[in-house]
Amino acid sequence: MPTASRVLLEEHEKIRAIVNPALEAGEDIGERGGAALGEHGAALSALAGLLIGDLSRHAAKEDEILFPAIEAALGSSQGPTAVMRAEHRAIHACGNRYRDLLAGLRVDGSAGAKSSGLARGPDAETAGVSPAAAHPLAEQLRELGDLIGVHFEKEEVVLFPLAESLLPLEEQLALGARLETYPG
Instruction: Encode pLDDT of 54-100 as tens digits.
Output: 999 999 999 999 999 999 999 999 999 999 999 999 999 999 999 99
pLDDT grade, residue 129 (50/70/90)?
low
| ∠ Cα 102 152 71 (to 5°) | 120
pLDDT of res. 111: 29
Using alpha carbons, select from 130, 103, 105, 113 the residue that is nearest to residue 48. 103
Rounded to whole angstroms, the Cα distance separating 17 from 20 reads 6
Percent of the chain with pLDDT over 70: 85
Give the model's pLDDT for residue 105.
79
Q: Which residue has the higher pLDDT, 78 or 114?
A: 78
Say what the pLDDT of residue 35 is: 82
Q: How far apart are CA 34 and CA 153, in angstroms?
A: 32
- Give me the pLDDT at residue 184, please: 64
Q: What is the DSSP letter of 113?
A: B
- Report the C-alpha gap between 146 and 70 in whole angstroms: 25
pLDDT at 33: 85
Residues forming a β-bridge with 113? 119
Q: What is the mean pLDDT of residues 10-36?
A: 94
Reported as a pLDDT band with limits 50, 70 and 90, residue 149 is: very high
Please state the domain extents for the chain.
Answer: 4-180
DSSP 3-state percent helix, strand, coil across the chain (nearest 5): 80, 0, 20
Per-residue pLDDT at 119 exceeds 70: no
- Report field, pTM of the whole predicted structure over 0.95: no
CA distance linking residue 104 with residue 28, whole number of Å: 19
CB-CB contact of 67 with 162 (8 Å)? no
Q: Which residues pair with 119 in a beta bridge?
A: 113
Specify whether the CB–CB gap between 70 and 167 falls below 8 A. Answer: yes
Report CA 21 to chain centroid distance, whole Å. 12
Mention the CATH class of domain 4-180: mainly alpha
